[in-house]
């Protein structure tokens, strides 16, 4: 009987929460739809709407921070941090609908993620400002290497101009210019830089594998087995060993596989465990604003 009552109560609470939630989301969606530009509205309306929304919300937040007395500002920041983090924490712990894999907080967590992206997009302007300030001063004062500063401005303006031109007209020639700058220049330069890793690995491996101690010798042997086991010659060298039975473990490809997936994986996972527990502790400190002293002033 007690269990039946508990089930009834649980069902009642669940239904009540679901009803309140439904009302709230319906009203919110109605207001949201009313404020949004109409479907199929031109791009400039969307851009204006986004900028306007950001300015209004930013203005309200700025005003709120201004009217709050100095001694409460840190508390306000801590409260906002806590509430924002709480959405993610509760979203993770509240069981999800097995069909959709989401719960009632998932859409909010997604929206919060999008808001973070918007803030990031605005901060990009600060990065560009840093570049222009640094290279601009170098160019104006004709510091040694000013040619590099000039190259930055030429590349910056050319890439930006090509991007806008391609976006505005979509013509074949604009696409070709964009491809020439991006695919044939930027992407190729990135690939070139990436390929230099091969040379760096050789010089680093030479130092690492020099036999100076028992540990270095052990590492050299393990590395040799792993490397040879990954290439066809490794399989060829031990092809005489039967493929079945206990002796098959001495085939180079099997030894290589064993080193990678047993001792190496064990060490890898041990480090990963330590790192994740450390990340949990740091996330907790950040969420509860216990760590402010590490970056700026005293702890809260």
Partner 1 sequence: MNHANWTIGILEGILVFLILYKIFSARRGKRLYIRRVPGLNAIDEAVGRATEMGRPMLFSPGISGLGLPTLQALSILKYITGIAAKYRTRIIVPTADSVVYTIAEEIMKDTYTAHGVPEQFNPEDIRFLSDDQFAYASGVVGILNRERVASSFLFGNFFAESLILAETGHQVGAMQVAGTPQVTQIPFFITAADYTIIGDEFYAAGAYLSREPTLLGSLIGQDYAKAILILIMGAGIITSTLMAINPAWANWLDWLKYFRVGQ
**How far is 246 from 148, CA to CA, in rounded Å?**
63
Question: What are the E-state strand segments in 70-205?
Answer: none
The answer to the question of residue 194 lying near partner 1 (CB under 8 A) is: yes
Is the Cβ of residue 26 or residue 130 nearer to partner 1 in the bound state? 130
Q: Does 200 bind partner 1 (CB under 8 A)?
A: yes
Least distance in Å: CB of 209 to partner 1?
9
- Which range of residues in 29-37, 58-66, 126-134, 240-248 is near partner 1 by CB under 8 A? 126-134
Neighbour tally for 10: CB within 10 Å: 10
**How many other C-beta atoms can be found within 10 angstroms of the C-beta atom of residue 205?**
13
**Under rule CB under 8 A, residue 286 binds partner 1:** yes
How many CB atoms are located within 10 Å of the residue 136 CB? Answer: 14
**In the bound complex, what is the minimum distance in angstroms from residue 276's beta carbon to partner 1?**
9
From 69, 125, 232, 240, residue interacting with partner 1 (rule: CB under 8 A): 125
Q: Which of 123, 154, 168, 243 binds partner 1 (CB under 8 A)?
A: 123
Q: Does 244 bind partner 1 (CB under 8 A)?
A: no
Residue with tokens 């050319």: 158
Length of the chain: 300
**DSSP tag of 240:** T
Nearer to partner 1, 203 or 213 (CB): 203
- Site membership for partner 1, residue 145 (CB under 8 A): yes
> Closest Cα to residue 226, out of 263, 198, 201, 195?
263
CB of 252 to partner 1, least distance (A): 21
CA 105 to chain centre: 21
Task: Pick between residue 19 and residue 130 the one whose CB is nearest to partner 1.
Answer: 130
Binding of partner 1 by 208 (CB under 8 A): yes
Stretch binding partner 1 (CB under 8 A), from 16-24, 44-52, 233-241, 265-273: 265-273
Is residue 213 involved in binding partner 1 (CB under 8 A)? no
Whole-angstrom distance, CA of residue 238 vs CA of residue 250: 8
Q: Token digits for 144?
A: 């040694």
Binding to partner 1 (CB under 8 A) within 91-110 occurs at 91-96, 101-103, 106, 109
Is-contact 127 136, C-beta < 8 A? no
Q: What angle do CA 268, 272, 275 make, to 5 degrees?
A: 140
Among 83, 124, 154, 168, contact with partner 1 (rule: CB under 8 A): 124
Region binding partner 1 by CB under 8 A among candidate stretches 12-20, 55-63, 120-128, 174-182: 120-128
Residue among 128, 137, 135 at smallest CA distance from 159: 128
Rounded to a whole number of angstroms, the distance between the first and last alpha carbons of the chain is 50
Span from 15-23, 52-60, 170-178, 202-210 in contact with partner 1 (CB under 8 A): 202-210
Query: Angle at the Cα of 113 (from 109 to 118), degrees rounded to 5?
Result: 145
Query: Considering beta carbons, is residue 16 or 281 the nearer one to partner 1?
Result: 281
Q: Which of 65, 70, 73, 88 is nearest to 286 (CA)?
A: 88
**Residues contributing to the site for partner 1 (CB under 8 A):** 91-96, 101-103, 106, 109, 119-120, 123-128, 130-131, 133-134, 137, 145, 186, 189-190, 193-194, 196-197, 200-201, 203-205, 207-208, 268, 270-275, 277-286, 288, 290-291, 293-297, 299
């Amino acid at each position: 009987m007690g269990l039946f009552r508990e089930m009834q109560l649980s069902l009642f609470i669940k239904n009540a929460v679901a009803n309140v939630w439904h009302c709230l989301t319906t009203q919110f969606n109605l207001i949201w739809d009313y404020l949004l530009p109409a479907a199929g509205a031109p791009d400039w309306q969307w851009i204006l709407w986004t900028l306007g929304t950001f300015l209004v919300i930013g203005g309200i937040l700025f005003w709120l921070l201004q009217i709050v007395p100095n001694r409460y500002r840190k508390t306000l920041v801590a409260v906002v941090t806590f509430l924002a983090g709480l959405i993610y924490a509760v979203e993770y712990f509240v069981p999800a609908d097995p069909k959709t894999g989401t719960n009632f907080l998932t859409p909010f967590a997604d929206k919060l993620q999008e808001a973070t992206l918007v803030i990031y997009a605005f901060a990009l302007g600060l990065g560009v400002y840093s570049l222009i300030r640094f290279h601009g001063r170098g160019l104006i004062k004709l510091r040694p290497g000013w040619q590099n500063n000039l190259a930055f401005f030429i590349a910056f303006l050319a890439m930006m101009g090509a991007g806008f031109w391609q976006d505005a007209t979509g013509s074949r020639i604009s696409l070709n210019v964009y491809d020439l700058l991006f695919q044939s220049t930027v992407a190729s330069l990135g690939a070139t830089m990436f390929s230099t890793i091969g040379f760096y690995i050789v010089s680093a491996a030479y130092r690492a594998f020099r036999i100076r101690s028992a540990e270095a010798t052990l590492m050299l042997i393990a590395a040799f087995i792993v490397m040879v086991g990954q290439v066809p010659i490794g399989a060829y060298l031990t092809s005489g060993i039967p493929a079945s039975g206990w002796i098959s473990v001495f085939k180079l490809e099997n030894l290589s596989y064993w080193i990678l997936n047993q001792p190496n994986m064990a060490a890898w996972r041990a480090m990963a465990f330590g790192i994740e527990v450390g990340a949990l502790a740091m996330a907790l400190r950040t969420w509860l604003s216990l760590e402010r002293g590490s970056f700026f002033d005293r702890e809260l």
